[in-house]
């Protein structure tokens, strides 16, 4: 879909790029000419991921250990990267989440998710942004959100709240940093099964509902990693130079068919629809009989 050199010369950090969606994005960036950096909290996982990214992309990849919940750890990572040259792009991808009834969450449980998603995205964005601004360089920030920024979601309330905060950051920084040549966008994926997410969000047969079910997606399937890569490569490329401040869904229409909509009516037969129509019309007739004008 893209020229193999479309990201030549780019230097892109993907937080949480040692696993799941972040690793898949990193493969796409590196295969299209970028030097990718990934970070996370597990050295062995990162080392294996770097080897895999290099092999699958035939491109350049390096890893740094960093905890996005800790601003000092982010600063140390950025200093180490900048010592070899400035980044051109950042993907705020590191995330944390688990299913839990909200009334059961302790302050520490809430804090673990909020600090990873909201604080981590803020600290990493500012660490890059201040360096780009000081050097008069352009830059691109993309945050990996979820469609809950529009719909919310029960049983994952801290994650929905924190992602919504990063959605607000995206719109706000796009305006503040636009005049400095920094584009700030986000993506809102629907279900792309990964071990990390499914372990936390679909741990039992009984937890397989709506959010993690392919048959609730209008396109009737999960997302594919190539589809995710195509969007990320485009958003990161110079060809995307007039898009900023946007959060783009990539979910097969999932959030538009959310449980809060009438999506479940897909199961009605033509005979059911006929009975529904008769019932509605009967109600309208009854109301009409009592109209005064
Ligand atoms: C549209 C559809 C798209 C389809 C669906 C896809 C949706 C995508 C949206 C987002 C998805 C993701 O981010 S998926 C990414 C999933 N990957 C991850 O989560 C990786 C990172 N996760 C982690 O680091 C850990 O899992 C996490 C627990 C969050 C933090 O680890 P820590 O070591 O910091 O924390 P711990 O000390 O273990 O725990 C901190 C507190 O949290 C509490 N806690 C931990 N697990 C708990 C649980 N299950 N229920 C209640 N409370 C829990 C503990 O009791 C502690 O509180 P006290 O008892 O008070 O001390
Ligand atoms: N899979 C899906 O269907 C969807 C996923 N998303 C988003 O995609 C992103 C990736 O999720 P996914 O790949 O599925 O899940 P993973 O669990 O595989 O990815 C999460 C990554 O974040 C890293 N991470 C977590 N906490 C920290 C931290 N404090 N500092 C540094 N790195 C950290 C983890 O590494 P480590 O633990 O080693 O630090 C891990 O590599 C998340 O933001 C998620 O919300 C959005 C919508 C749908």
Is 233 a pocket residue for ligand 1 (Cβ < 6 Å)? no
Q: Report the share of the chain in percent with pLDDT over 70.
A: 98
Give the pair of three-digit tokens for residue 170: 């995206």
Residue 260's pLDDT is 57
Question: What are the residue boundaries of the structural domains of the chain, listed by start?
Answer: 11-263
Residue 293's pLDDT is 82
Ligand 2 centroid distance, CA of 149 (Å)? 17
Residue 267's pLDDT is 83
Among 68, 91, 109, the mutation site with the greatest number of ligand 1 atoms within 8 A of its Cβ is 109
* Overall average pLDDT of the 125-129 stretch: 98
Q: Which residue has the higher pLDDT, 258 or 147?
A: 147
Is 158 a pocket residue for ligand 2 (Cβ < 6 Å)? no
Q: What is the ipTM of this complex?
A: 0.98
| Shortest-distance Cα residue to atom 32 of ligand 1 | 112
Least confident range of 166-180, 186-200, 217-231, 254-268? 254-268
Q: Which residue has the higher pLDDT, 3 or 286?
A: 3
> Is the pLDDT reported for residue 264 higher than 80?
no
* CA–CA–CA angle 103, 257, 152 (5° rounding): 30
Is 68 a pocket residue for ligand 2 (Cβ < 6 Å)? yes
Give the pair of three-digit tokens for residue 241: 């130079």
Ligand 2 centroid distance, CA of 269 (Å)? 41
Q: For the chain, what is the mean pLDDT?
A: 95
Write the CATH number of the domain with boundaries 11-263: 3.40.50.720
> Is the pLDDT reported for residue 189 higher than 70?
yes
Is 112 a pocket residue for ligand 1 (Cβ < 6 Å)? yes
Is 98 a pocket residue for ligand 1 (Cβ < 6 Å)? yes
Is 144 a pocket residue for ligand 2 (Cβ < 6 Å)? yes
> Is the pLDDT reported for residue 209 higher than 70?
yes
Are 64 and 90 within 8 A, CB to CB? no
pTM of the model: 0.95
Buried b (16+ CB within 10 A) or exposed e, 91-102: bbbbbbbbebee
* Overall average pLDDT of the 119-138 stretch: 98
State the pLDDT confidence band at 167, using cuts at 50, 70 and 90. Answer: very high
* Overall average pLDDT of the 163-177 stretch: 98
Q: Alpha helix locations (H) across the chain?
A: 20-31, 43-57, 71-82, 107-114, 120-135, 148-151, 157-177, 195-201, 225-236, 270-289
Residue 56's pLDDT is 98
Residue 281's pLDDT is 86
Least confident range of 118-122, 126-130, 196-200? 196-200
> Is the pLDDT reported for residue 7 higher than 70?
yes
Q: Which residues contact 273 (CB under 8 A, 6 or more apart)?
A: none
Are 116 and 163 within 8 A, CB to CB? no
Is 152 a pocket residue for ligand 2 (Cβ < 6 Å)? no
Ligand 2 centroid distance, CA of 97 (Å)? 8
Is 196 a pocket residue for ligand 1 (Cβ < 6 Å)? yes
Residue 259's pLDDT is 64
Which of 102, 86, 111 has the alpha carbon at shortest distance from 12?
86
Give φ, ψ of 30 to 5 degrees. -65, -35
pLDDT, one tens digit per residue, over 67-82 is 999 999 999 999 999 9
Residue 292's pLDDT is 80
Residue 263's pLDDT is 65
Axis crossing angle, helix 71-82 with helix 120-135, rounded to the nearest 10: 40
Element (H, E) at 34: none
State the pLDDT confidence band at 284, using cuts at 50, 70 and 90. Answer: confident
Ligand 1 centroid distance, CA of 74 (Å)? 20
> Is the pLDDT reported for residue 258 higher than 80?
no
pLDDT, one tens digit per residue, over 218-239 is 999 999 999 999 999 999 999 9
């Amino acid at each position: 879909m893209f020229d193999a050199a479309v990201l030549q010369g780019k230097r892109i950090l993907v937080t949480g790029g040692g696993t799941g969606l972040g690793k898949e994005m990193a493969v796409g960036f590196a295969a299209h000419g970028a030097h990718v950096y990934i970070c996370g909290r597990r050295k062995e996982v990162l080392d294996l991921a770097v080897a895999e990214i290099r092999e699958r992309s035939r491109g350049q990849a390096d890893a740094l250990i960093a905890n996005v919940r800790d601003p000092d750890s982010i600063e140390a990572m950025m200093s180490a990267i900048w010592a070899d040259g400035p980044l051109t792009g950042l993907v705020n991808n590191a995330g944390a989440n688990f299913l839990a009834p909200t009334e059961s969450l302790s302050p520490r449980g809430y804090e673990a998710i909020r600090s990873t998603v909201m604080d981590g995205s803020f600290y990493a964005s500012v660490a890059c942004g201040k360096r780009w601004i000081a050097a008069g360089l352009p830059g691109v920030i993309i945050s990996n959100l979820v469609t809950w920024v529009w719909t919310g979601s029960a049983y994952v309330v801290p994650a929905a709240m924190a992602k919504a905060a990063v959605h607000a950051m995206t719109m706000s920084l796009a305006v503040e940093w636009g005049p400095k040549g920094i584009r700030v966008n986000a993506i809102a994926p629907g279900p792309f099964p990964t071990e990390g997410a499914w372990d936390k969000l679909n741990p039992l047969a009984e937890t397989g509902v709506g959010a993690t079910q392919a048959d609730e997606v209008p396109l009737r399937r999960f997302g594919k990693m190539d589809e995710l890569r195509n969007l990320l490569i485009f958003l990161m490329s110079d060809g995307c130079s007039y898009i900023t401040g946007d959060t783009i869904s990539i979910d097969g229409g999932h959030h538009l068919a959310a449980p809060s909509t009438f999506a479940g009516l897909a199961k009605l037969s033509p005979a059911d629809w006929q009975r529904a129509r008769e019932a509605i019309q009967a109600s309208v007739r009854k109301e009409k009989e009592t109209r005064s004008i």
